[in-house]
Amino acid sequence: MTKVSRTYWLVLLLACGIFAVDVFVLPDVTPELKSSASEFFNNECKGCHRWARKFAAPPMRDNVQHYASDPAAMVEYLKHPTPQHPDEWPAMEITPLTEEQAKMMTAWLLYILKNPDDPGRPK
Ligand code: HEC
């Protein structure tokens, strides 16, 4: 093995290691996830959010639409809610979600956005 190819492999290995940490994966939307997420929504989100209209918070459909191209940012937001529209809305005062809860809710809400006729869609 030449010196160049050894360096090459070392760099490649390091790069794989770095990317492995960064991979962002949402869980599959199984029937079990749907029922857990729906229950979580009813307990933790429904007090303020409705699906398609303003309530004590912006419509959830619009929120999810906004994050549709960047689900990782939605997970981050749910773990650390920071003021987003200070002119229009108060900050979201909730117990921050854990990584697992945030991923579950993001996966489910994106699924509902794509499947609005799902019987489990929030009202
Ligand atoms: C106490 C009321 C309240 C509860 C409960 C609540 N929210 Fe919110 N939510 C808000 C308000 C108010 C905003 C607008 C915040 C802002 O613009 O800074 C918001 C905004 C959002 C946004 C959009 C943020 C953005 O970038 O515009 C998402 C996504 C969201 N909520 C998800 C959830 C989820 C999921 C739950 C349940 C786990 C939840 N919310 C529970 C009040 C609430």
Which atom of ligand 1 is closest in space to residue 83's alpha carbon? 18
Task: Report CA-CA distances (Å) from 52 to 19, 29, 31, 46, 49.
Answer: 37, 22, 23, 12, 9
Q: What is the CATH number of the domain that holds 107?
A: 1.10.760.10
Confidence of residue 21 (pLDDT cuts 50, 70, 90): low
Cα 98 to Cα 6: distance, rounded to the nearest angstrom? 41
* Residue 15 belongs to a domain: no
pLDDT (0 to 100) of residue 78: 98
* Residue 13 belongs to a domain: no
pLDDT (0 to 100) of residue 42: 98
pLDDT (0 to 100) of residue 41: 98
Determine the distance separating the centroid of ligand 1 and the alpha carbon of 19, expressed in angstroms: 30
pTM reported for the whole predicted model: 0.88
Q: Tens digits of per-residue pLDDT, 24-75?
A: 999 999 999 999 999 999 999 999 999 999 999 999 999 999 999 999 999 9
Determine the distance separating the centroid of ligand 1 and the alpha carbon of 83, expressed in angstroms: 10
The pair of structure tokens assigned to 101 is 């809860």
Q: What is the dihedral angle through the alpha carbons of 29, 71, 98, 112, rounded to the nearest 10 degrees?
A: -40
Give long-range contacts, CB 8 A cutoff, 24+ apart: 112-118: 112/51, 112/64, 113/61, 113/64, 113/65, 113/68, 116/61, 118/34
pLDDT (0 to 100) of residue 116: 96
pLDDT for residue 96 is more than 90: yes
Residues with CB under 6 A from ligand 1: 44-45, 47-49, 56-58, 63, 66, 74, 77-78, 83-85, 89-94, 97, 105
Count: domains in the chain = 1
- From 48, 76, 89, 92, give the residue whose CB has the most ligand 1 atoms within 8 Å, as the site to mutate: 92
What 3-state DSSP class applies to 11?
Answer: helix
- Residue 47, domain extent: 28-114
